[in-house]
């Protein structure tokens, strides 16, 4: 009987022990999930290629050409008549003035003019320099000058020593009285022109 009582007590204690174990929550191990923060990659900016603006360089060889007035001064620096000369009052808008000095009907094909004449009416002398707009017209303009010029436009004297020459876009007309040959001749002026231009004429006309 005593043994039965001890067995009952032991069984009861075992039962309570089991119940207590069953009622205890199992330890739960929570593993914190570590979520890596998304890595943001900075956008890479590619620089646009830089194109330098083109540099324009003027050629040193493209120097501006002398004006016809400067060419006239250069000719006279080599050969100048020994009598009084001066600039002629050529009026480009007056057809009569144009014809009197150049022999042309108009200066439509001409870009520049320079005219030098004697200041004494009894001496026949006239030097005309023209720059044509198109060098291809130089010979045509020279011929028109030869056909139109009046060597006897002076009173009682005649510019019978007459030449017209061209070089590129320049036309030269020189007429002088032959009795002034001890002072100046058309050939001396043409020779000075050749020296200034550094080349032989493209066209030579005489009257």
List pLDDT tens digits, range 96-148. Answer: 999 999 999 999 999 999 999 998 767 899 999 999 999 999 999 999 999 99
Element (H, E) at 205: strand 203-206
The yes-or-no verdict on residue 78 having pLDDT over 50 is yes
- Give the whole-angstrom CA distance, residue 189 versus residue 169: 18
The yes-or-no verdict on residue 54 having pLDDT over 50 is no
- Give the whole-angstrom CA distance, residue 102 versus residue 93: 13
Bridge partners (DSSP) of residue 136 are none
Element (H, E) at 139: helix 138-148
Give phi and psi for 82, each to the nearest 5.
-95, 30
Q: How many CB atoms lie within 10 A of CB 102?
A: 26
List pLDDT tens digits, range 166-200. Answer: 999 999 999 999 999 999 999 999 999 999 999 99
CA dihedral sign of residues 84, 90, 96, 99: positive
- Give the whole-angstrom CA distance, residue 71 versus residue 114: 9
Beta-carbon contacts of 204 under 8 Å, excluding residues fewer than 6 positions away, are: 163, 164, 165
Cβ contact 157:122 at 8 Å: yes
Instruction: Please indicate whether residue 64 or residue 101 has the higher confidence score (pLDDT).
Output: 101
Each domain of the chain, given as residue ranges in start order, spans 68-206
Cβ contact 152:189 at 8 Å: no
């Amino acid at each position: 009987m005593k043994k039965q009582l001890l067995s009952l007590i032991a069984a009861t204690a075992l039962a309570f022990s089991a119940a207590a174990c069953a009622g205890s929550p199992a330890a739960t191990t929570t593993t914190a999930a570590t979520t890596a923060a998304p890595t943001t990659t900075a956008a890479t900016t590619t620089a646009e290629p830089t194109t330098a603006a083109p540099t324009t360089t003027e050629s040193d060889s493209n120097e501006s050409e002398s004006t016809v007035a400067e060419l006239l001064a250069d000719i006279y620096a080599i050969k100048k008549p020994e009598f009084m000369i001066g600039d002629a009052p050529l009026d480009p808008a007056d057809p009569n003035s144009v014809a009197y000095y150049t022999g042309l009907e108009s200066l439509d094909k001409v870009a520049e003019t320079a005219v030098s004449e004697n200041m004494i009416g009894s001496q026949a002398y006239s030097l005309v320099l023209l720059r044509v707009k198109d060098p291809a017209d130089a010979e045509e303009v020279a011929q028109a000058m030869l056909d139109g010029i009046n060597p006897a436009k002076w009173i009682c004297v005649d510019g019978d020593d007459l030449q017209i020459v061209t070089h590129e876009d320049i036309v030269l007309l020189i007429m002088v009285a032959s009795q002034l040959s001890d002072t100046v001749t058309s050939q001396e002026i043409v020779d000075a022109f050749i020296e200034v231009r550094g080349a032989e004429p493209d066209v030579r006309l005489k009257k």
